[in-house]
Amino acid sequence: MLPGDADSLPALDAKTELQELVQGRGDELPDYRLVAQQGPDHRKRFHVECWLAGERLGSGAGSSKKQAEQRAARAALAALREAAASPAP
């Protein structure tokens, strides 16, 4: 493999991938909303939703806000891909 091959590039994280996808489509940027945090300070659990154009596309939970946002973005990407693969009514 040659340096610069697409295969040699590191995989994008879910938030970056989602942002690039929606920007490429001309959509507004995703909005990540912290909807809950549970547990004591040393063991918090964060719950985040990913919204795009007024629609909740995904949600995720994690031991940090960043982890929860990544999981919400991954769920939103899956929802967008599923919608793109579904035939229009």
pLDDT tens track for 50-77: 999 999 999 999 999 999 999 999 999 9
End-to-end CA distance of the chain: 44
For residue 46, being part of any structural domain is answered with: yes
DSSP assignment letter at 40: -
For residue 49, being part of any structural domain is answered with: yes
Residues 6+ apart with CB under 8 A from 64: 46
Instruction: Kindly report the pTM of this predicted structure.
Output: 0.83
**Residue 22 CA from chain centroid, whole number:** 11
Which structural domain, as residue segments, surrounds residue 54? 32-64
| Total count of domains within the chain | 1
**Residue 15 CA from chain centroid, whole number:** 5
At 16-60, the pLDDT tens digits run: 999 999 999 998 999 999 999 999 999 999 999 999 999 999 999
For residue 12, being part of any structural domain is answered with: no
For residue 4, being part of any structural domain is answered with: no
For residue 57, being part of any structural domain is answered with: yes
For residue 42, being part of any structural domain is answered with: yes
For residue 38, being part of any structural domain is answered with: yes
Is there a contact between 52 and 42 (Cβ–Cβ < 8 Å)? Answer: no
Q: Helices 14-25 and 65-85: crossing angle, nearest 10°?
A: 50
